[in-house]
Amino acid sequence: MTAACAAAPFAMELADTSTGIQLSVPSIHCASCIGAIERHFSKVPGVQDARVNATQKRVAVQSNLSADVLVQELNSIGYEAFPLDDDALKNDADPVCRDLILRMGVAGFAMMNVMLLSVAVWTGATDATRDLFHLLSAAIAVPAVIFSASPFLKNAIHALKGGRLNMDVPISLAIVLAAGMSLYESLHGGAHAYFDAALSLTFFLMIGRYLEHQTKSAARSAAAELAALEVHRADRKVGNEIESVAVKDLFIGDTILVGSGMRVPVDGRLQTQTACTDRSFLTGESEPIEHTKHEPLCAGEINLGAPFEIIATAIGANTRLRRIAELVETAENARNSYTSLADKAAQIYAPVVHVLAAATFLAWILINGDVRNALNIAIAVLIITCPCALGLAVPAVSTAAISRLYQMGFLVKSGTALERLALAKTMIFDKTGTLTAPGFSFGIKDLSPTQRAIAKGLAQQSSHPLSKALAQHLTEDVAAQIENIFEHPGLGVEGAWKGRKVALGKPAWLNQPGDALTLKVGGTACPLLSYENVLPGAEYLISDLDLLGISSQIISGDTEANTERLARKLGFGSWRSNVSPEQKAMCVKQCSLAGPVCMVGDGINDTAALAQANVSIAPGTALDATRNAADIVMIGDGLGSIPKVVSVSRKAVNLSKQNFGIAILHSVIAVPIAMAGFATPLIAALAMSTSSITVLLNAMRVRLGK
């Protein structure tokens, strides 16, 4: 549900939101939202301070009020909010990024200084002068290499212990041998030292490692976000007394009171005769669910009616919400095992490089019997064939492609997302909130200011999702003062305005035709919105995907009739309805047997399916848990641009493969020179720099669309 936003689509966070009560507000989009929320809280008694973080879609409130009261305050101005548990959220800091920048800076600074010292050697310094410059270079280079190259060394050791090769094995071998042999030559008056080459390798490869890290998500795990949405306190009924206790202290069989507008804290069975809840986090549908006595309820559902009681049947890790979180975590871990193009190349490239270096060493021993000279030439082969360009090949293209997609309105969070999307054969869409927007297409242009004010006054007093959407849509209007307000759960809300009866709700409840939310003032009634409006871009989505050879289908928690109607309207050849979150994840898993699957969804009920898919896309309006489970987030209304994203991903993969070709061509030219013993440190450094710059320039083509 999107509030009216007149400013830019996104705004930078205004303050740190690491303290106070944390609320997730997914409908925050711009400066207008920030101002509306902060101005409202400034007028609420008991609130000392409120700061909005638009990037994380959160509000941090310093207050002596409870989180539930603060949620109700946001609901009153049309913003749906969810309390977050601070302990369940991880630290926002990114120490890995800072560490990579530091190591890259040290390597670059040391490289420049060693190259300055090397100029004297390259221009003819000999004997004591040459040895002095080599020793000075060693004093700078050895500590810098040990510090800056340690990520490669650790990864290489880890890979070798696991009995496999990755790109870091030849990288580490080249760096260690170059630095080690250079130190030996410096201490024994040798003519050549490779300190500048070792540092150049380290510096360029650290750039690649940093670019690779930047393409990965710095956001939290979707499973952690789901856990943060859990209720952490509950009202337990003991005899005639009500006590507030931590959910972790509840036991199966406890009687729990769930107040109006509150979330159900645990799974349980209804003990009250009737209840009405919002189960959209499970079904993705905004329609309230009516329950009768003894029916099961799930943790996370919102009470839309009068208070009710449940008997706890599952607590903590055994609730359905937590089981969905575990499904997400398991699927995320499985998806993270995807082997990138760079790692696949390393499995072929690394053994070849090692064999060439070993063959060179043995050949030169046979030629002149000089072990020291043979080792120097073999190290030169390792240096000149070190996969610096290969190390940059994928990160450089990924970063350029991600930059282009960001300009198109898509935020790529995973380093291998583009590779996986390029392979997609099937695209599965959620319906509500992804292809359609329930409660967002308002037919209220002809309403008078008075009618708009009455509609907002009624909508603010209702807990129904469509009423909340209406209240958000009427952000700029002043609400009328409605008296004697009473809500009929699942039907509507009524009251009195200046002695006249006014009501907002289902047309059947108001004795009106149609299926649109209806406003009635006295005897005059008018529809306000359509329950289902196809989002922009959906009309041509299927035909564009067909041109790319991608089949598509809908998997929805909505009814068979609604799902079939939309599927036929948009041209989907396949659809499934009444699907639970667990079933969605299973459907995605089954479809993936026929080829890689891309899942597109926005609800918490889609989280497990998004994580299960080979690659996934979510709208920016989705909750934190849903966005974090996705590899790509749509910042704006980019539904119709999804086929273009697929095209860019395929282009990026092709350019990555071209970069591998450039790196291999460089090796084909340079290796014979090195094996023949003509590769001086200067030639090695120039060869590496040339191949790396060529790879970077080629990567820019994806950003230019060429």
Specify the long-range contacts of residues 35-42, CB closer than 8 Å, at least 24 apart: 36/3, 36/77, 36/79, 36/475, 37/74, 37/77, 37/79, 40/73, 40/74, 40/77, 41/70, 41/73
Burial of 391 per CB tally in 10 Å (0-12, 13-18, 19+): buried
Please report the pLDDT score of residue 662 as a whole number. Answer: 80
Token pair of 623, please? 């909750």
- With 50 as the cut, is the pLDDT of residue 603 above it? yes
Q: Whole-angstrom distance between the N-terminal and C-terminal Cα of the chain?
A: 38
Token pair of 41, please? 């809280």
Asked if 461 and 492 count as a contact pair (C-beta separation under 8 A), the reply is: no
Please report the pLDDT score of residue 643 as a whole number. Answer: 92
Separation CA 145–CA 130 (nearest Å): 21
Phi-psi region for residue 258, left (φ > 0), alpha (ψ -120 to 50) or beta? Answer: beta
Q: What are the residues whose beta carbons fall under 8 Å from the beta carbon of 219, sequence distance 6 or more? A: 413, 624, 627, 628
Q: How confident is the model at residue 217 (pLDDT cuts 50, 70, 90)?
A: very low
- With 70 as the cut, is the pLDDT of residue 1 above it? no
| Region 441-530: CATH code | 3.40.1110.10
Give the closest residue to 57 by CA, choosing from 81, 21, 36.
81
Separation CA 77–CA 664 (nearest Å): 61
Token pair of 473, please? 């849509």
Q: What is the mean pLDDT of the chain?
A: 78
- Report pLDDT digits (tens) over 290-349: 888 999 998 888 888 788 999 999 887 788 777 766 655 555 555 544 456 666 666 676
- Report pLDDT digits (tens) over 33-61: 787 888 889 888 888 888 887 656 788 88
Give the closest residue to 473 by CA, choosing from 449, 496, 456.
456
Residue 310 C-beta-side C-alpha neighbours within 13 Å = 32
Token pair of 163, please? 């009995």
DSSP class of residue 11 equals: -
DSSP class of residue 114 equals: H
Separation CA 315–CA 675 (nearest Å): 67
Find how far residue 541's CA is from the centre of its chain: 23
How does 319-339 read in b/e, with b if 16+ C-beta sit within 10 Å? Answer: bbbbbbbebbbebbeebeebe
Q: How confident is the model at residue 624 (pLDDT cuts 50, 70, 90)?
A: low
- Cross-strand partners of 84: 22
Please report the pLDDT score of residue 221 as a whole number. Answer: 46
DSSP class of residue 634 equals: E
Write the DSSP string, 503-560: EEE-TTTTT-SSSSEEEEETTEEEEEEES--BPTT-TTHHHHHHHTT-EEEEE-SS-H
- Report pLDDT digits (tens) over 541-584: 888 999 999 999 999 887 788 888 888 988 888 899 888 888 88
CB atoms within 10 A of CB 394: 32
| Region 231-318: CATH code | 2.70.150.10
Please report the pLDDT score of residue 550 as a whole number. Answer: 93
Q: How confident is the model at residue 4 (pLDDT cuts 50, 70, 90)?
A: very low
254 part of the active site: no
Q: What are the residues whose beta carbons fall under 8 Å from the beta carbon of 64, sequence distance 6 or more? A: 46
Helix (H) or strand (E) holding 330: helix 320-335
Helix (H) or strand (E) holding 488: strand 483-488
How many residues are given for the chain? 706
Q: How confident is the model at residue 502 (pLDDT cuts 50, 70, 90)?
A: very high
| Share of residues in the chain with pLDDT > 90 (%) | 11
Q: What are the residues whose beta carbons fall under 8 Å from the beta carbon of 615, sequence distance 6 or more? A: 414, 417, 420, 421, 424, 596, 597, 598, 599, 631, 632
Q: How confident is the model at residue 9 (pLDDT cuts 50, 70, 90)?
A: very low
Q: How confident is the model at residue 8 (pLDDT cuts 50, 70, 90)?
A: very low
- When mean pLDDT is compared across 181-190, 307-316, 431-440, the lowest value belongs to 431-440
Residue predicted with more confidence, 533 or 456: 456
- Report pLDDT digits (tens) over 383-417: 777 666 666 667 777 777 877 887 777 877 776 78
Which residue among 267, 430, 558, 602 is the active-site one? 430
Where exactly are the structural domains of the chain? 21-84, 95-214+338-397+655-671, 231-318, 398-437+536-649, 441-530
Average the pLDDT over 176-192 and give the result. Answer: 81
Helix (H) or strand (E) holding 181: helix 168-187
Q: How confident is the model at residue 247 (pLDDT cuts 50, 70, 90)?
A: confident
- With 80 as the cut, is the pLDDT of residue 65 above it? yes
What is the pTM (predicted TM-score) of this model? 0.57
Average the pLDDT over 358-366 and give the result. Answer: 89
What does the CA dihedral 216, 538, 603, 78 come to, rounded to 10 degrees?
110
Give the closest residue to 137 by CA, choosing from 171, 114, 119.
114
Separation CA 463–CA 643 (nearest Å): 37
Asked if 537 and 639 count as a contact pair (C-beta separation under 8 A), the reply is: yes
- With 80 as the cut, is the pLDDT of residue 120 above it? no
Asked if 672 and 443 count as a contact pair (C-beta separation under 8 A), the reply is: no
- Report pLDDT digits (tens) over 76-117: 887 777 776 555 554 445 677 788 889 989 998 998 888 888
Give the closest residue to 419 by CA, choosing from 632, 143, 229, 274.
632
* 3-class DSSP state of 94: coil
- When mean pLDDT is compared across 197-211, 494-508, 524-538, the lowest value belongs to 524-538
Give the CATH number of domain 398-437+536-649; options: 3.30.70.1350, 3.40.50.1000, 3.40.50.300, 3.40.50.1820.
3.40.50.1000
| Region 21-84: CATH code | 3.30.70.100
Find how far residue 595's CA is from the centre of its chain: 23
Find how far residue 496's CA is from the centre of its chain: 46
Separation CA 410–CA 391 (nearest Å): 25
